[in-house]
A and B are shown apart, each in its own frame.
Chain A
Amino acid sequence: MGELAVEKHVKFILTIEKEKDSFESVVMEHIRLNGAYWALTTLDILGKLNTVDQDEVVSWMMQCQHESGGFGGNIGHDPHLLYTLSAIQVLALFDKIDALDIDKVSNYIAGLQNNDGSFSGDMWGEIDTRFSCVAILSLALLKRLDKINVEKAVNYIVSCKNLDGGFGCTPGAESHAGQIFCCVAALAVTGSLHHVDKDLLGWWLCERQVKSGGLNGRPEKLPDVCYSWWVLSSLIMIDRVHWIDKEKLIKFILDCQDKENGGISDQPEDAVDVFHTYFGVAGLSLLEYPGLKAIDPAYALPVDVVNRIFFGR
């Protein structure tokens, strides 16, 4: 079997972080906070977080925060739940969550819960179970889950459960591995996994594995490395990961590497990007590939980071 080209991937990440004027970088500037989370978490899993200037990152990130307490995707961008979670996760990596005014941030997040228990992404009102997940993970990491109506939040997520045991973005929407991760993680963190039919969902999830060993996100779609995270972490959270062929999946992920220039792509031979590099490495960590730090399947942060938050020093 091939090997994980750790050094090349580290170099790839450090290079793109510096190359602020590449076309890709300029076009993604509004989601730079997400990019920072993907890049830094990957580095941490590979044991190389110390290669970044922590103070520079934190100082830039705090400038992305608004009056309301929420974070935008970059400096000068409007606040949104998605970037708020990334900010909290990055601060968690650096053990700097106390740089935040925790009540302010949690009030921003809690303020976005709707009457039916769902969450809007921001003041413009888009509703999606992704935002339920992001809100719940954020508040759990800040230890402020009590600021929202957890029961209603759970009920909304459960209303998005489909006949195949999976979850969609809103009630009735097609089951999709990304949305399933969001719902299962939110349920896991709120102690509500009993709402999941683990056998039924586990079967749906293990049916995502196709001949090549890769995982797709819905029936009859193509495999993509990012599903190595969404499907895999979901299986782990419901204790059914032994239902897929781990060896074949590892091989698929390794085949998606660019071993010359570093980085991982969505499928073998495609162009690499930091998003798929993160999901590939995180997936390999879940598969217990040697030499990688363990990652928490719900919080999507290294286990030692999560332990530090919940079990203190």
Chain B
Amino acid sequence: MDVLQKSSERIPLSQRPEYADVKPVAQDDGPNPIVPISYTDEFRETMDYFRAIYVTDERSLRALQLTAEAIKLNAGNYTVWQFRRLVLKALNADMNKELDFVDGIVERNSKNYQIWHHRRWVAENLGTDLSTRELEFTKKILSKDAKHYHAWSHRQWVLQALGGWKDELAYCELLLKDDIFNNSAWNQRYFVVTRSPLLGGLGAMRESEVTCTVNAIMEHPENESPWRYLRGLYRNDTQALVKDPQVASVCLKILTAKNNYVHALSMLLDLLCHGFQASLEIRNAVYGLSDSGAQGSDLVKVVCSILELVDPMRANYWKWRRNMAPAQAAQCLKDDGLTGLSL
């Protein structure tokens, strides 16, 4: 049976001899007025026949074919998918062919949860070395939509369950080269750096990762993702963040350039709250951004005032940061084990 039969060649189920003994079951939804759109007729007929097979729990080849047609008309119908799985099991079907089936329909339906879950179920059932095939599968989807949430989720599962880590960091780099703003790729980067059994963990990778991240920031200082990634690299080790000259340096460069400096100011604010001693150049760069020519020893307050002006949508957040700053600085020093040191 041709699972990939085109809609234009479709013979109504009522005219197919192999379904002659099936009595279609209508959806119990209420009165059934005449519907002008023929697509809906095709849909309704297919679902009526599906319901008949489902109700009698018929797990045959023609049932399998019917689920394929129903899925192609509406891949969101989870009951059809579940029944298909029961039929596949009963027929002891070739799961490799099932992967082919999903390949054939995923492009039109990639945003649908059911397809992804089914794909995983098939892969789990196959139990053979599918890592390469599954990574290729997700890569294909990501090449059309590099932020596709389901594809990334499936890819993470593949790596952890089936392996294939070797080229993953390089893949992230490729995607970021395409679009440095791709937050999913940054997330995957963190996933690889922290979880790959081949890379030695965050400690070993941090220095090189900071360099890459700083370069990305210089390219587009307005890009939210690398700033968050940078903070993530120093998770649980804020003093190292404060002491890393690359971090202070990139802030200074951006503040001096006076362009897209909101995230740089925000990072500087975090550093200051963790005991960072701002150099004269940094101080002057900040004062240079302030219209009122504000000076004064409390750099934190100046930074917050500027942020309130240039990022007015989040003015309340920056006001809060300004009010919290003295207490926050003291707490941060305490948390970082630096009580007793004066600023």
Contact = CB atoms under 8 A, between A and B. Distances in A.
Specify whether A and B are partners.
yes
Interface of A: 20-21, 23, 26-32, 63, 72-78, 80, 122, 124-126, 162-164, 168-170, 172-176, 202-204, 206-207, 209, 213, 218-221, 242-245, 248
B37 to A, nearest CB: 6
A163 B235 contact: yes
Contacts of B82: 78, 122, 124
The 4 nearest A-B residue pairs measured at CB: A163-B232, A174-B187, A243-B317, A219-B183
Interface stretch (B23-31, B208-216, B252-260, B278-286): B23-31
B314 A30 contact: no
Given A23-B40, A169-B149, A220-B223, 12 more contacts: A78-B79, A124-B121, A125-B121, A163-B232, A176-B149, A202-B317, A206-B317, A218-B147, A219-B181, A220-B183, A220-B224, A243-B320
Interface stretch (B7-15, B70-78, B298-306): B70-78
Nearest to B232: A163
Contacts of A73: 78-79
Contact of A221 (B31, B47, B147): B147
B316 interface: yes
A29 B181 contact: no
Contacts of A213: 313
B238 interface: no
A interface: dominant SS: loop
A75 B47 CA distance: 13
Residue of A32, A63, A175, A207 ringed by the most chain B CB atoms within 10 A:
A207
27 contacts: A21-B32, A26-B44, A27-B76, A28-B76, A30-B77, A63-B28, A163-B228, A163-B232, A169-B153, A170-B156, A170-B157, A172-B195, A173-B187, A174-B183, A176-B149, A206-B317, A207-B224, A209-B313, A209-B314, A218-B183, A219-B183, A219-B228, A220-B182, A220-B183, A220-B225, A243-B317, A243-B320
Given A23-B37, A30-B78, A175 B187 contact: yes
Contacts of A244: 313-314
Is chain B's binding surface mostly helix, strand, loop or mixed?
helix
Interface string B163-197: 00000000000000000011110011011000100
B133 interface: no
A173 B191 CA distance: 8
A80 B223 CA distance: 40
Given A76-B27, A164-B232, A23 B39 contact: yes
Nearest to B233: A163
Nearest to A130: B113
B231 A219 contact: no
Of the candidates A78, A170, A172, the one having the most CB atoms from chain B within 10 angstroms of its own CB is: A172
Given A76-B51, A163-B231, A26 B43 contact: yes
Contact of A219 (B190, B225, B313): B225
Contacts of B152: 173-174
Interface residues of B, number: 58
A27 B35 CA distance: 14
Contacts of B235: 163
Contact of A26 (B30, B40, B190): B40
Contacts of A204: 228
B54 interface: yes
Given A124-B82, A172-B195, A30 B76 contact: yes
Contacts of B44: 26
B190 A163 contact: yes
Nearest to B180: A220
Nearest to A124: B82
Contacts of B156: 170, 172-173
Contacts of A72: 79
A21 B35 contact: yes
Contacts of B55: 76
A162 B231 CA distance: 12
A125 B118 CA distance: 10
Nearest to B312: A245
A206 B313 CA distance: 9
B139 to A, nearest CB: 17
Nearest to B33: A21
A124 B153 contact: no
B117 interface: yes
Interface centre among B44, B183, B195, B232 (most CB of A within 10 A): B183
A59 to B, nearest CB: 12
Nearest to B37: A23
A258 B306 CA distance: 39
Contacts of B153: 168-170, 173
B29 A20 contact: yes
A208 B181 CA distance: 14
A194 to B, nearest CB: 16
B111 interface: no
B85 interface: yes
Given A27-B74, A174-B184, A218-B183, A248 B313 contact: yes
Contacts of B183: 174, 218-221
A72 B77 CA distance: 11
